[in-house]
A = this chain, B = another copy of it.
């Protein structure tokens, strides 16, 4: 708050926590009072919070976990075919966003993306055949998060898709390459132009980028993201700067790489230049790498995943390992494209909340005032929400910094006990998919993670700590 107060040349302020009579009395004396949003903890969590609070190992476990999260140095090393690199991926597997899901529970955009993937793979010849096949149970649906991957929106990864391979020493994570906005598979569209674009990505984009990466060597995604936050990105729904910097990194190789035809390299340059979200998927793979590095620390209440499958919202904690804690996916408060309205919107969907999980996206919106043109709200509100996220996080990111807050690190590492205790829910900014299969993107907006996930997670963590 120093910067903001300094801006107005105001004296120090008094912060009151909940006790309105005190605030009113101070104001009557001419004191500048800042009311915080303090409330009692979420009902039914007092016992679990007491267990965690009295556990002498939790603070250390959280410090260990969040240090692992912020210490990861993700590099894009190559682009490869999903079935050849992703562990546990067979020719009959489709990965999807969010916690585990059956076809019968899948929302419209998830169904549309699964149908599109089966068309793209040539496993089904028509949308109807694809839907029948998916409903038959002969296709294995498995969360991206179970395969060291993260997928935006529907997040469907099929065996032939090219994926970015992101590494930090021995650890690896994966994400598909971004298709652009509008009628794209990840928003549930599956028309011929969607399938055609996916084929072009497989046959042109992937080999050209892979070849260029052999010239550039590993691309430091953390450095690009840190710079991009200085340039108005949040790393989730605004990636114009990150995409620009990535293209600068790749550009000279694209100019000079005689291993691929110049016309295809120019096509690839134009495709990435035409898609300011290109960097998102790389940030997500980097985020997955950081979150996985932080997982499995006994006693830690650090959130290591927030992910939505379009039906349910799920989270994981470091101290409870691979277990998901889910609640119905919320609806998004957003801006709609063209003639679409909230009536057309699917509930919240996608693994992209991995960005918020690692201190970007909704947590970094104070770095990204221009994002409000895409997701709604005001620049002042974006700053206010970032300030609020410091209340529920364990640290400030050492390299992701917010220039307007005098280079303060982004609020990083959600502590589930702080969410339950303060009742401040993590803010996510996100795209909005049409609820019917085949429609695609209808808007973008803001959403808060459901409290029920955090309540269940904190209770489970407490259960694991009782002796």
A residues with CB within 8 A of B = 3-10, 27-32, 34-35, 227, 230-232, 240-241, 244-245, 247-248, 251-252, 254-256, 258, 262-263, 265-266, 269-270, 273, 369-370, 372-373, 378-380, 383-384, 403-407
CB distance from A365 to the nearest CB of B (A): 11
CB of A246 to closest CB in B, whole Å: 10
Which residue of chain B lies nearest to A266 when distances are taken between CB atoms in the complex?
A: B256
| Copies of this chain, tallied across the complex | 2
Report the bound CA distance from A70 to B239 in whole Å: 29
Q: Chain B residues near A248: list those with CB within 8 A.
A: 244, 247, 273
> Closest CB-CB distance, A121 to chain B, in whole Å?
31
Question: Hey, which chain B residues are within 8 Å of A31, CB to CB?
Answer: 30
Interchain residue pairs with CB less than 8 A apart (14): A5-B8, A9-B35, A231-B232, A241-B241, A244-B245, A247-B247, A247-B251, A251-B254, A252-B266, A252-B273, A255-B269, A256-B266, A369-B403, A404-B404
A431 to B240, CA, bound (A): 28
**In the bound complex, what is the Cα–Cα distance between A41 and B232 (angstroms)?**
39
Query: Do the beta carbons of B254 and A263 come within 8 Å of each other?
Result: no
Given A30-B30, A32-B32, A404-B369, A383–B273 Cβ distance below 8 Å?
Answer: no
**Nearest B-chain residue to A371, judged by Cβ:** B403
What residues of B have a CB within 8 angstroms of the CB of A269 in the complex? 251-252, 255
Chain B residues with Cβ below 8 Å from A35 are 9
The answer to whether B251 and A370 touch across the interface, beta carbons within 8 angstroms, is no
Residue numbers in B under 8 Å from A273 (CB-CB):
248, 251-252
* Other A-B pairs, 14, CB within 8 Å; known A231-B244, A241-B241: A4-B4, A4-B8, A7-B383, A8-B8, A28-B30, A230-B232, A232-B232, A244-B244, A252-B266, A252-B270, A254-B255, A255-B266, A255-B269, A379-B403
Q: Are B254 and A380 in contact (CB under 8 A)?
A: no
Residue of B nearest to A230 (CB): B370
Closest Cβ of chain B to A34, distance in Å, is: 7
B265 engages A255 (CB within 8 Å): yes
Chain B residue with the shortest CB-CB distance to A273:
B248
Contact B255 A3 (CB under 8 A): no
Residue in chain B with minimal CB distance to A268: B255
With a CB–CB cut-off of 8 A, which chain B residues contact A369? 403-404
Q: State how many angstroms separate the Cβ of A255 from the closest Cβ of chain B.
A: 4
Q: Can you name the residue of chain B whose Cβ is closest to the Cβ of A378?
A: B406
Contact of A27 among B9, B28, B30, B255 (CB under 8 A): B30
CB-CB under 8 A from A370, the residues of chain B are 230-231, 403
Name the one of B8, B227, B265 contacting A34, with C-beta atoms under 8 angstroms. B8
CA gap between A98 and B265 in the complex, in Å: 44
A86–B322 alpha-carbon span in the complex (Å): 69
CA distance A4 to B10 in the complex (A): 12
Closest B residue to A269 by beta carbon equals: B252
Question: Which residues on the B side are within 8 Å of A4 (C-beta)?
Answer: 4, 7-8, 380
